[in-house]
Chain A
Amino acid sequence: MIEVRQLVKSFGDVRALGGVDFTVEEGEIFGLLGPNGAGKTTTISIIAGLLDADSGTVRIAGLDNRRDAKRVKEMLGVVPQDIALYEELSGRANLHFWGGLYGLSGKRLREEADRVLELVGLAERGNDPVREYSGGMKRRLNLSAGLIHRPKVILLDEPTLGIDPQARLTILDIIRDGVSEGMTAIYTTHYLEEAEKLCDRIAIIDRGRILAQGTLAELVKLAGEGNLVTVSGAFSIEQVNPLLSGVAVEHLENGSLRMLVPGQRELSGALGRLFSAGISIGEVSIQEPSLEGVFIKLTGKELRD
């Protein structure tokens, strides 16, 4: 549905994108995960036709987004990072304006406005001025303005920025519901848990380059991560050390062991050897592979850096 090929963009001497390349299938939620300044918004802006790339192409449903700009824009819904709404107008009046911009009018415009207000849980507050809304309500209305014309592709640029976790979960649910109606979405975020929960596939972007992309499982595998196993008990280093051949030990001291085990078979083998040797084990915890570990592995830094 979306093909992004070798996007390059510089602002003066600063290279924002250095050859961004990815494909998004129809009905898929594709996550662009990266820290601030990684190039996520620049990528979204180029796809939306708001910025010209220095080189590279964007095709949406087979159409070039520059040559067929109007047709492409009719297919797109954009939810910007900013709360791009008219505060002095009511939520409904805002939706009427944004829907009108996409050619909706009359009864259909009113019905679609009612539908998205219901979808984002603002049906009862639709006639209130936006300035009276809470931050979370504004975010939800901001999202609904991008959904009112039932776009085939929706570009969501950090739509949960600056709101509390509960409101964030609500927005993620709305996006999941919206996309299940057949939409394709690109979702940028710097929240790992959002990408993990929402996205079918994820691209990790940093300094204008895609470092890796795939499903969560593929990314974890790509990075060579395994389960992080922590064992505590009444044992000494000398007792345990000979039993850990073939296991990546991250930390070992008397009574505490932390090791990285690639798969279930290796995990069973390692724990089996410890039990067979009569090692006194008090507690075992297993942490499954996470995107955070992948990100650190790929970039050498935590996402919040």
Chain B
Amino acid sequence: MNKILLIVRNDMRRRLRNPLSIVCMLFIPLGLTLVVGLVFGGHGEVAISHIPVLLVDNDKGIASRFLKQGMQQGKLAELVDVVEVDSVAGRALMDKGKASALIEIPKGFTSRILDRKPVEIGIVKNPQESFLPVVVEELAGTMAVMLDGITRIFAKPIGDTREMLDAGRWPTGEEMSGILAAARPRIALVREYLADSLVTLRSQTVSTPGEKPKAKFSIFALVMPGSILIGLLFIGEITMQDIVRERETGTLVRIAAGPIGGDQVIAGKIVSSFALTFLSCVLLVVIGRLGFRIDWGSPVELFVHLVGSILMCVGLMALLYGFIKSERAAQAVIPGFIIVICIFGGAMFPYETMGPAMQKAAHFSPAFWVIDGLKRISIEKSGWSGISRHLAIVYGVGVVASVAGAARLRGKLAARE
């Protein structure tokens, strides 16, 4: 045991003296997480901030005002920033990409609606954005439908009022009484819809007593498990690469010439690889918590799952290196292997975005069980029952690969022919 610890201590000391390769590998998961997170914005929470919308009102009528004010009421006001501009300025601002969309209400818009004639609202979308202009388009469409409904129901009273408005005067009390009297049967007809809705939607997050409220969904929490796995595999690869490199430099054979069993030598190497990978993993998790504000869920579940995951990564690398004869061969084969199992396992393209066939194939990649397990712990908070199968597979693969890898690596202790 002392000899195993001696090898582990020596390897750790060597890595600390020359940590560049490990540090570089740590940047892979952190960089991936950061880039994907930044694509979705800010702190990683998927939220839509105020959408800048330009409005060109060539009509200046009741209907255009209805549209304009409708977009600046209540919740919509939190979503959309409407800035009224003239047509030339609006086009110029759109050319500069200053807004997500430009809504142009044509001249005679109100008249045509009141005359029950077809009319078009123009929308110019910002080609640099994919998502936000579509939101504006849907909003404008909804407002148009509402406007159409109102004008159909209240066509007569609006028609009566229109003449007065066109004449530039406000109705007298008698005229107003007449209009309301005419409108009364229609209001009665639709009052059920104009009054407060019988059914309202009250949205809330359900929680059981004693349970902490779930954190806001973070895009980083979705991305980082896959990124961590990629990092762990590459760090495991670097540390296991030592066996091939030391065989080439002769230090491994020199160790084997000492009073130490071959099994102890290989155990020392695998344990030191595990220890270095574990330390790197702890660093990634801490950065994930502090830097990306990821709620990792239960620390115990996370610890148990990560230990199994690291065992699996180190075991797979030990097995691969058991078959590889030189450092050059390792550099040619192993990164490709890591990328393939990561792609299939959903580390690069989330499992949720895969087609049905790929989703089935993902289950055959050990990477899937690591990533999905981490997501269940950190996002779904699914508890032990949710990750029991994951743990069984991850630990199973880890133990089998480590034992088989150690047996293969044992043969590397012999002197070169």
Contact = CB atoms under 8 A, between A and B. Distances in A.
A200 B3 CA distance: 36
Interface in A3-56: 11, 16, 41-42, 45, 48-51
A149 B305 CA distance: 44
Residue of B13, B14, B254 most packed against chain A (CB within 10 A): B254
B249 A82 contact: yes
Given A11-B417, A88-B18, A50 B253 contact: yes
Given A82-B249, A84-B253, A74 B259 contact: yes
B250 interface: yes
A50 B255 contact: no
Nearest to B5: A100
Contact of B6 (A45, A51, A97, A145): A97
Interface string B1-36: 001001000100110011000000000000000000
B414 interface: yes
Contact of B257 (A42, A50, A70, A93): A50
B90 to A, nearest CB: 64
Contact of A80 (B6, B253, B414): B253
B232 interface: no
B415 interface: yes
Contacts of A41: 415
B256 interface: yes
A231 to B, nearest CB: 51
Contacts of A82: 249-250, 253
Interface residues of B, number: 23
A272 B413 CA distance: 65
Contacts, number: 70
B258 A84 contact: no
B14 A84 contact: no
Contacts of A49: 257
B251 interface: yes
Interface string B312-342: 0000000000000000000000000000000
Nearest to A79: B254
B10 A97 contact: yes
B250 A80 contact: yes
B253 A70 contact: no
A101 interface: yes
A83 B253 CA distance: 11
A93 B254 CA distance: 16
B139 interface: no
A100 B260 CA distance: 11
Contacts of A80: 250, 253-254, 257
Contacts of A51: 414-415
A259 interface: no
Contacts of A103: 259
10 A-B pairs with least C-beta separation: A82-B250, A84-B250, A45-B415, A50-B415, A84-B254, A73-B259, A78-B257, A101-B258, A88-B17, A11-B417
Given A51-B414, A85-B251, A129-B17, 13 more contacts: A11-B417, A41-B415, A49-B257, A50-B253, A50-B415, A51-B415, A80-B253, A82-B249, A84-B253, A85-B249, A86-B14, A89-B14, A102-B259
18 contacts: A16-B417, A48-B257, A50-B415, A51-B415, A73-B259, A73-B260, A80-B250, A82-B249, A82-B253, A84-B253, A85-B251, A86-B251, A88-B18, A89-B14, A93-B13, A101-B3, A101-B259, A129-B17
Interface of B: 3, 6, 10, 13-14, 17-18, 249-251, 253-261, 413-415, 417
Interface of A: 11, 16, 41-42, 45, 48-51, 70, 73-74, 76, 78, 80-86, 88-89, 93, 97-98, 100-103, 129, 145
